[in-house]
Amino acid sequence: MEERVVITGLGVVSPNGVGVEKFTKAIKNGQSGIKFHPELNKLSFRCQIGGVPAISENARQRFLKKHGIEEVFSTGITYGCIAASEAWRDSGLKIRSEKESPDYESGCIFGTGSNGIEATHYGIALRESGQDTRKGNPKALPQAINSAVSAFIAKIIGLGGQVTSNASACNTGTEAILMAFDKIKNKQAVRLLVGSSESNSPYVWGPFDSMFATAHGFNDQPKKASRPMDKDASGFVPSSGAGALVIESLSAAKKRGAKIYAEVLGGHINSGGQRGKGTMTIGNVNGMVRCIKNGLKSCQITPDQIDLISGHLSSTIGDITEINAWVRALKRKGEAFPYINSMKSMIGHCLSASGSIESVAAVLQLYNGFIHPSINADQLHPEIASLISHKRVPPTAILDVPLNIVCKISFGFGDVNSCLLLKKYID
Partner 1 sequence: MAKKTRVVITGLGICSPIGNGEKQFTTSLKKGVSGVRYHEILKRQNYRCHVGALPALEQAEIQAFTGRYGLVKMKGTGIVYGCMAGVEAWFDAGLSLLDSKSNQAAWESGCIFGTCTNGIDAIDYGIGLVDTGNVRKMGGRTAQQAMNSGVSAYLGGIIGIGNQLSTNSSSCITGVESAMEGVNRIRQNKAKIVLVGSSESSHHNVWGGYDGMTLYDDFYALAKGYNDQPEKASCPMSVHANGLVPGGGGGAMVLESLESARKRGAKIYAEILDGSIISGAQRNGGTMTMNSRKSMEDVIEFALCKSQISAQDIDLISGHLPSYIMDVYEVEAWAKVLKRSGEDFPYINALKSMTGHCFAASSSMELVASALQLHHQFIHPSVNSAQLHPQIASIIARKKIPLKSLKKKINIVAKTAYGFGDVASCIVLKKWEGA
d(CA 349, CA 169): 12
Quick one: 307 or 322, whose CB is closer to partner 1?
Answer: 322
Residues 6+ apart with CB under 8 A from 358: 173, 174, 243, 310, 343, 344, 408, 410
- Shortest distance, position 212 Cβ to partner 1, whole Å: 8
Of the candidate residues 117, 292, 330, 347, the single one contacting partner 1 (CB under 8 A)? 117
- Shortest distance, position 414 Cβ to partner 1, whole Å: 3
137 lies in the binding site for partner 1 (CB under 8 A): yes
Taking residue 259's Cβ as centre, other Cβ atoms within 10 Å add up to 15
Residue 221, SS3 per DSSP: coil
Of the candidate residues 21, 25, 43, 256, the single one contacting partner 1 (CB under 8 A)? 43
Size of the site for partner 1 (CB under 8 A): 102
Quick one: 102 or 395, whose CB is closer to partner 1?
Answer: 102
Taking phi over 0 as left and psi of -120 to 50 as alpha, with beta for the rest, 133 belongs to alpha
Residue 387, SS3 per DSSP: coil
Are 288 and 388 in contact by the 8 Å Cβ rule? The answer is no
Residues 6+ apart with CB under 8 A from 314: 170, 228, 236, 342, 344, 349
Instruction: Looking at residues 388 to 407 of the shown chain, list those that interact with partner 1 (rule: CB under 8 A).
Output: none
- Shortest distance, position 207 Cβ to partner 1, whole Å: 4
Quick one: 92 or 160, whose CB is closer to partner 1?
Answer: 160
Query: Residues in the chain, how many?
Result: 427
Instruction: Looking at residues 294 to 353 of the shown chain, list those that interact with partner 1 (rule: CB under 8 A).
Output: 352
Quick one: 135 or 257, whose CB is closer to partner 1?
Answer: 135
Of the candidate residues 57, 98, 400, 427, the single one contacting partner 1 (CB under 8 A)? 98
Looking at 113-121, 308-316, 353-361, 374-382, which segment touches partner 1 (CB under 8 A)? Answer: 113-121
d(CA 231, CA 196): 30
Looking at 4-12, 50-58, 198-206, 394-402, which segment touches partner 1 (CB under 8 A)? Answer: 198-206
Are 20 and 359 in contact by the 8 Å Cβ rule? The answer is no
182 lies in the binding site for partner 1 (CB under 8 A): yes
272 lies in the binding site for partner 1 (CB under 8 A): yes
241 lies in the binding site for partner 1 (CB under 8 A): no
Instruction: Looking at residues 44 to 63 of the shown chain, list those that interact with partner 1 (rule: CB under 8 A).
Output: 44-46
416 lies in the binding site for partner 1 (CB under 8 A): yes
221 lies in the binding site for partner 1 (CB under 8 A): no
Quick one: 26 or 159, whose CB is closer to partner 1?
Answer: 159
> Which residue, 180, 97, 168, 199, is CA-closest to 312?
168
Of the candidate residues 19, 33, 107, 228, the single one contacting partner 1 (CB under 8 A)? 107
359 lies in the binding site for partner 1 (CB under 8 A): no
Are 159 and 102 in contact by the 8 Å Cβ rule? The answer is yes
Over 43-59, what HEC string results?
Answer: CCCCCCEEECCCCCHHH
Residue 99, CA atoms < 13 Å, CB-side half-sphere = 0
Run of H or E including 157: helix 148-157
Of the candidate residues 273, 304, 378, 399, the single one contacting partner 1 (CB under 8 A)? 273
DSSP state string for 178-191: HHHHHHHHTTS-SE
Query: Which residues on adjacent β-strands are paired with residue 11?
Result: 244
Quick one: 192 or 327, whose CB is closer to partner 1?
Answer: 192
Quick one: 132 or 427, whose CB is closer to partner 1?
Answer: 132
Of the candidate residues 271, 321, 345, 354, the single one contacting partner 1 (CB under 8 A)? 271
Are 292 and 409 in contact by the 8 Å Cβ rule? The answer is yes
